[in-house]
Structures are given as structure tokens and as C-alpha cells.
Amino acid sequence: MIYNWQQEGWPEFKYQLNDDIENSLIKIRESASKLEGYFSAMTEERKQQSLSVIMTEEAVSTSAIEGEFMSRIDVMSSIMHQLDRTVPDYSKDIRAKGVSQMMMSVRENYDVQLSKHMLFNWHEMLMLGNNKVHAGVWRFQNEPMQIISGSIGKEKIHFEAPASVQVADEMGRFIHWFNESKPVRLKDQLNAPVRSAVAHLYFESIHPFEDGNGRIGRAISEKAIAEGLGYTPFISLSKIIESNKAKYYDELMRAQQTLEVSEWVMYFVQLIVEAFDYSFEIINWTVKKWQFFEKYDKELNSRQLKVISKMCETSVFEGGMSAKKYMSIARTSKATATRDLQQLTEMGVLMPKGGGRSVRYELKLGE
């Protein structure tokens, strides 16, 4: 198989912007403006809370795409600390600290020119606690960098990146292209999601690091979007990718076989549309949560507030609430848990699903 970087014309990617893509680009610009307006109207406290939710989704998801799973609570703690250094970081997972540091660096340096030193710093942050990977340097091993699936003896090679000896030159050219293509004119700014799509494909095709290429590649994509908007948007691109990562890998590997990437651009731009849509869902849910606590803060006892707060740590409490979970979180008896749950149901705070011993309660913050 001949990959894109082996083809004549590399790295000149070609694509056509059809009506669907053009309409998506307009929608992204409108959504970005609307979302920024929402955040501008918030108090600083609520803005920080909302941003921590979005950034936590991004950190957890970008790691999960690569098969690395971290505690959402650890990640949230590190994110909160990065947003406000007066807030203690209670995270016990050094990986959570590393990915949080990288994400904050991406957000704070969105308008700074990309450089190998910036990428090396991101890689070092991302590899915190991983002593098996050479962090902060381009890969240098003689073995080919291959994306492989299947058991031993039945391996299938999906992609092979340029040899390590080529990486420094390839990345020098990539960094130059990225900085030179930074949008200046209004039309270029509107097309920033297209540049984001190409940047991600270009970077992933070089695969310059020993590990962490996917996570840094997605960070580069978000930097490209931010450079087009003139600010870092409140979105989680990785959350959308992670929801159907099989399709993401299929589209990426298909795009790595050609320099005509119109289909890849269409796919990736739609991901960005969905990322903005998801941000609106998070904001709406967060606003409902604030309104709920303002309404019921004086009516609920300390046990009920503790349990509802726990359920609100993520927008979906896995498996719903049960009497057994309630007893564990509130550290109370079965009789008290049952009585509290019944009261919350009567108030319309919880909605029961099922019956008998299998009954579960879902949080209902309002329509």
C-alpha cells in the first residue's frame, strides 16, 4: 500500500468545499459567536464551573480514544486547579495532572506561533508518569512506526508513518505550514475548521512522537480552530470523536491513503459542528443545575444535597440512583435512604424507573 506521504505532491492536500461544507462552516461561526455570548454573560464563578466541565470532558475523552482511562474526579480536580491556582489539586493520578497542564497550555497559547519546543512541552506534560516513553523529543527508533491491529501472527498494518530519520524535516515543514496558513482575512477565518481538519490529518500522518500523537494531534486541531476565531472556544472535540471512535479511525486511515481529502474535510468539519452542539447541551444542563440548587437549597436536608451533588458531578449518573447507592454516599440507614428518596420523588427531583428491588432513580433538573 502507498500512503499519502509517499505520493507525489506530498504534503499538498487537495479538497473541494461543497455546499454542505460551506453551510457547516457558517453554522460553526454562528454557534461559536452564540456560545461566546452565553459565557460572557456568566459570572466568573459560573464561567469557571462550566469551563471545568468542558475541559474535563475533553481530557477524559482524548485519553479514552487511545485506550487510556482516567478518573473523572481526578481530572476535574486537576482542571479546577489549573483554572484557579488557589484551588487545591486533590488528584492522585499524575496522568490527570499532565493532561490538564497540556490542555491549559493549549488554551493559553492559542495565539502563539507553533514551534517544536511548544510541541515538546506538550508531550512532556502528556507523558508525566510514563517512564517507558522518551518524552519531549521526536521519535528516533529504527523500527517502523506502524498502526497495527490483530493478534500475533495475524497482524494487519493499517498505516506506516515516515521513518524516524525523516521526522525532523517533516515536522519542520509541518510547523512552517501551520504558522504560514494562520488565518488573517475574514474568509480564511471562516475556513479555519477546514485548516483544523487538514492540520490533524497532516500531523497524524507524520506521527512524530513515540506515543501520544493522537492526543497532541487533536490539541493542534483545537488550536487551529481558536486561531480562526480569535479565542479558544468552549468545546470538546475529543468527546464527539470518542462517541464513535471506530468511524474516526476508519476515516483517518482512509484519508492517509490519498492527497485528495475532500471526504476527510467533510467528516472533520461535521465533528466540529457536533462539538459546538454538545457544548450547548452542557451549558443548558449546567444552568438547570444552578437553578435547581437555588430553588431547593433550603428545602433539602444535608444527605439529599450530598447525594444530588454527587449525581451532578457528571451530566449522567451511571446506572441511576438506588437505595443501596444512596446509603453508601449519604452514610445512612436503609430506612432513612428510602424515606429521603421518596421525598425527592414527591418533589419531582428524582424520577423512578422500574419497580421493587430493581427500582432506580434518575435526576430530573427541569425541562
Residues 6+ apart with CB under 8 A from 225: 192, 193, 196, 233, 235, 237, 272
Statement to judge: residues 77 and 133 lie in one domain = yes
* 221 and 358 fall within a common domain: no
Give the per-residue pLDDT at 286: 82
pTM: 0.86
CA distance 70 to 74: 7
pLDDT of residue 367: 53
Which residues contact residue 294 at a Cβ distance below 8 angstroms, ignoring those fewer than 6 apart?
none
Q: Is the peptide bond before 11 cis (omega within 30 degrees of 0)?
A: yes
51, 44, 67: which is closest to 103 by C-alpha? 51
What domain range is 303 assigned to? 297-363
Tens of pLDDT, residue by residue over 37-56, are: 988 888 888 888 888 889 99
Q: What CATH number does the domain containing 175 carry?
A: 1.10.3290.10
Residue 204 and residue 321 share a domain: no
For 19, other C-beta atoms within 10 Å of its C-beta total: 7
- pLDDT the model gives residue 61: 94
Show the cell assigned to 260. 485528495
pLDDT in the model for residue 366:
63
| CATH number of the domain where residue 330 is located | 1.10.10.10
Kind of pairing, strands 146-149 and 156-160? Answer: antiparallel
Q: What is the DSSP letter of 214?
A: H
Q: What is the mean pLDDT of the chain?
A: 91
Beta strands in the chain (DSSP E): 146-149, 156-160, 350-353, 360-363
Give long-range contacts, CB 8 A cutoff, 24+ apart: 280-283.
280/31, 280/35, 281/315, 282/50, 282/53, 282/54, 282/57, 282/315, 283/35, 283/38, 283/50, 283/234
Strands, E assignment, 80-155 = 146-149
309 or 247, greater pLDDT: 247
Say if 355 falls within a structural domain.
yes
Q: 249: Cβ–Cβ under 8 A, 6 or more apart, which residues?
A: 158
Main-chain dihedrals φ then ψ at residue 225, nearest 5 degrees? -65, -45
Give, in order, the Cα–Cα distances in Å from 230 to each of 36, 112, 186, 218, 341.
11, 11, 11, 18, 48
Same structural domain, 87 and 186: yes
pLDDT band at 316; cut points 50, 70, 90: very low
Per residue in 67-93, pLDDT (tens digit) is: 889 988 899 999 999 998 889 998 999
Tell me: do 280 and 313 sit in the same domain: no
Q: Answer whether residue 343 is part of any domain.
A: yes
pLDDT in tens, 108-137: 999 999 999 999 999 999 999 999 999 999
Residue whose entry in the numeric block shows the C-alpha cell 525523516: 166
CB within 8 A of 218, min separation 6: which ones? 62, 65, 200, 237, 238, 241
CA 120, chain centre distance (Å): 20
**Cβ count within 10 A of residue 86:** 5
Clarify whether residues 164 and 225 are in a common domain: yes
Alpha-carbon span 128 to 102, nearest angstrom: 10
Same domain flag for 161 and 32? yes
The pLDDT, as a whole number, for residue 283 is 87
Identify whether residues 281 and 301 lie together within a single domain.
no
Residue 313: pLDDT over 80? no
Write down which residue in 286, 306, 328 finishes a domain.
286
Spatial separation of the C-alpha atoms in residues 136 and 120, rounded to whole Å? 4
- On the question of pLDDT at 315 being above 60, the answer is no
pLDDT tens-digit map of 170-192? 999 999 999 999 998 777 788 99
Total of domains in the chain: 2
Tell me how far apart the alpha carbons of residues 210 and 245 are, in angstroms, rounded to a whole number.
21
